[in-house]
Copies of this chain bind each other. A is one copy, B any other.
Amino acid sequence: MKRFIVVGHKAATSGDFKLDDMAGGAGRLDILLRCINSALFLSHSIRRDTEIYLVLQGEPNPPRTIRVNGSEVRYLNPDERSTGALVRNALLKELDDEEIRSSPGIYVSKRSFVQVLDDLAPVSRLVYLKEDGKDVREQAMDGDLTFVLSDHQDLTESEEAELIARDPLTVTLGPLSYHADHCITVMLNELDRRG
């Protein structure tokens, strides 16, 4: 399994945002929607072996974690607006402490970044995508992998400390800094090439 965790530091945590204003009023939710696209779309198919966690930390109900599982997901299209509608539907669900299914392959919970790390670290190798890491093309990686990224802001010091405490690999994709969704695309290409 390939997994991605993307932290949205200001991303909306209720479903009352407008689909016309996802880059503004929804706290740069647009970035996270493009990450769903990058993680799951192949030409004319879906990456069934891939899953993405969006950790939303904006107002009014932080945290919320949206999980999109490629092996189950339905009704997903590549454009931002329709993906935003699916995420909004998930954020409109009434939540207790359990993760619930919003639509096929799309789940929502109150999990925090640390809780997501705690859930995944025992079953998956964490990989921190960061500018000063080891060149990805020279880094051995296999098995279940979970790549951790942030939105347009870096991980906070405390988030980074929580991640580092779980002993991730730290890799870089190249000499320039990319948007999170572009990082996902480049990372998956590297894994695709390894077969």
Q: Which residues of A contact B (CB under 8 A)?
A: 19-20, 22-23, 30-31, 34, 37-38, 41-44, 77-82, 152, 173-179, 182, 185-186, 189, 192-193, 195
Cα distance, A52 to B186, chains bound together (Å): 20
Cα distance, A179 to B38, chains bound together (Å): 9
Chain B residues near A79: list those with CB within 8 A.
22-23, 30, 80
Closest 7 CB pairs of A and B: A43-B177, A30-B79, A23-B79, A185-B185, A80-B80, A186-B189, A182-B185
* Pairwise interchain contact A41-B182, C-beta atoms closer than 8 A: yes
- A-B pairs with beta carbons under 8 Å apart, 16 shown: A20-B20, A23-B79, A34-B34, A34-B37, A38-B182, A42-B176, A42-B179, A43-B178, A80-B81, A81-B81, A173-B189, A174-B193, A175-B193, A176-B192, A182-B189, A185-B185
Chain B CB count within 10 A is highest, among A41, A77, A175, A189, for A189
Known: A23-B78, A30-B79, A78-B179. 16 other contacts (CB 8 A): A20-B81, A22-B79, A23-B77, A23-B79, A23-B81, A38-B182, A42-B177, A43-B152, A43-B177, A175-B192, A176-B192, A178-B185, A178-B189, A182-B185, A186-B186, A186-B189
Chain B CB count within 10 A is highest, among A34, A78, A173, for A78
